[in-house]
Structure 1
Amino acid sequence: MNYIIYLRVSTKEQGKSGLGLEAQKRDIQLYLDNYSPTPYIVLKELVEVDSGANSNRETLTEAISFAKKYDATLLVAKLDRLSRKVSFIAKLMEDRKLNFKVATMPHADPFQLHIYAALAEQEREFISKRTKAALAEAKARGTRLGGLRTKTNERNVAKRKQADDFAKSLWPIIEPMVKTSLAYSEIAKRLNQMNVKTANGGVFWASTVSNIVKRMV
């Protein structure tokens, strides 16, 4: 079984930090270890930073082309990594030359995926309307909506400081390996072997190590 892996995050900040990517890689590896026919080969892994509402994504188009060209299965962590539009998911399902799998729904057939996409789209539409209604009510009561942005900024500053502090605490371990020109993937492997956990309690990936190095260099 051959795979083309497609990963997507919505913001550049998530792409740089590895946030989101780490969880997707974990779910995909769980699928490969527990549900994939064996032996399997990952032919290519592609990462894109773009909104799921955008159906004209260059890297996704490239991933689909690779999957068709090499008769490989396009593998994503979650259905919304492909798209947040049920019409786009339906279009992919109609393409007889393309086979794709969703890691977190390993046993789902095309019909079930279609239903899930439709329900998810309805839920997002409802949440959007509910949020707009809540903001309108807050504005009518005289609530200063700008305060919400201030609190968000404060949380972001706190998160950045936490990430900086975490990077500093690990730097004595990572710096010697960086100086010997070890690949980030190898450094991540060694940290995992040492049972060192990320700030979120997860495992290390090359992107996680890269983010720490960028903070310290």
Structure 2
Amino acid sequence: MKVVAYIRVSTKGQGDSGLGLDAQRDYITRAADQNGWEIVGEFVDVVSGKLAIEDRPEGAKALTLCKEQKAQLLVAKLDRLSRSVHHIARLMEQTEFKVATMPQAKTFELHLFAALAQQEREFIASRTREALASLQKRADDGDAVAVQKINNRSQALAKGRAVADITAANDQRMKNVNAHQAAIQPHLLACLYNKLNTFQSVADCLNTKGLRTARGSEFTPTAVRRLMLAFNVSF
């Protein structure tokens, strides 16, 4: 049987299920090997699971290949397709699919699993809202323990947002550094081509060209050494 591997994460790191790209690929490859399935393509989306798979850039391509190759879609876990029963039901009308962690489950059975999972998530969300409402009422009535719990939760949420902001800022910083290094690389190689053989001489060469480090400073021997290590080049 032919299968098209589909992998989804919500961020460039790990997805909200705790499965990163490599882990999902491992599940898929292992299931294909154990069941004799032929993987005819792989597509990876970095996108929220709130979108239906046909509305995701790579998801749409995966579905197209399934039709062209008369293949089934293969994912590591059911929630990599969607957390929505509606989306799963709509997908059933477009193609058959397999889940690596439940390789023997039929499409209809997977639809039932998705319905049960969604119901459980709704129950948990409802219980959480009710518990928070009760806690807030106790806090409003002057319960010191409830007040402390509310404060602790608020601090945890604020910390989580702060961590997310820091992560986003670091990602952007690395993009800027990589872009700057890519722009500097041909000039560095040109300096080395001229047979310069000390970090200081290369720094002087770059500075003479009017180039600066990512922080806007003149190049020093240390900065040149780091740059050469990043490009894996030497004298």
TM-score (norm 1): 0.61
Q: Which runs of 5+ in 2 are unaligned?
A: 140-146, 168-228, 231-235
Q: Which position in structure 1 is the counterpart of 2:93?
A: 94
Q: Give the aligned CA root-mean-square deviation in angstroms.
A: 2.9
Q: Which amino acid aligns with 1:78?
A: K
Instruction: Pick from 140, 152, 157 the counterpart of residue 149 of structure 1.
Output: 157
Whether 1:53 aligns to 2:50 is: yes
Q: Which position in structure 2 is the counterpart of 1:25?
A: 25
Q: Which amino acid aligns with 2:33?
A: D
For the residues of structure 2 that align with 1:152 and 1:134, how far apart are their CA atoms?
21
Q: How far did residue 137 of structure 1 move?
A: 3.4
Q: Which runs of 5+ in 1 are unaligned?
A: 160-215
SS in 2 for 1:4: strand
Report percent identity of matched pairs: 46
SS in 2 for 1:3: strand
Give CA-to-partner distance per residue, 1:114-167, whole Å, 9 cap, x none. 1111101101111222222333334332221321125547988xx9xxxxxxxx
Residues 110 and 14 (structure 1), Cα distance of their counterparts in 2 relative to 1, 3 Å cut? closer
Give CA-to-partner distance per residue, 1:83-141, whole Å, 9 cap, x none. 1111221122223xx23211111111122111111101101111222222333334332
Q: Which position in structure 1 is the counterpart of 2:122?
A: 125
Bigger-Rg structure (1/2): 2
Instruction: Pick from 136, 139, 148 the counterpart of residue 139 of structure 1.
Output: 136
Q: Which amino acid aligns with 2:71?
A: A
Q: Which position in structure 2 is the counterpart of 1:106?
A: 103
Q: How far did residue 81 of structure 1 move?
A: 0.8
Which has the bigger relative contact order, CA under 8 A and spacing at least 6? 1
Q: Which amino acid aligns with 1:93?
A: M
SS in 1 for 2:14: helix
